[in-house]
Amino acid sequence: TDESDVHDEL
């Protein structure tokens, strides 16, 4: 998955 897909906040 490209970076933008991943949600890094809880």
Partner 1 sequence: MNIFRLAGDMTHLASVLVLLLKIHTIKSCAGISLKTQELYALVFATRYLDLFTDYISLYNTLMKLIFLVSSFSIVWYIRHHKIVRRSYDKDQDTFRHYFLVLPCFLLALVINEKFTVKEIMWTFSLYLEAVAILPQLVLLQRTRNIDNLTGQYVFLLGAYRSLYILNWIYRYFTEPHYVHWITWISGLVQTLLYADFFYYYFQSWKNNVKLELPA
Q: Residues in contact with partner 1, total (CB under 8 A)?
A: 8
Q: Which two tokens stand for residue 7?
A: 């949600």
Shortest distance, CB of residue 4 to partner 1, whole angstroms?
Answer: 8
Q: From CA 1, how far away is CA 7, in angstroms rounded?
A: 11
By CB under 8 A, tell whether 7 contacts partner 1: yes
Check residue 2 for interaction with partner 1 (CB under 8 A). no
DSSP track, 1-10: --GGGS----
Smallest distance from partner 1 to CB 1, Å: 7
Amino acid at 5: D
Q: Which residues bind partner 1 (CB under 8 A)?
A: 1, 4-10
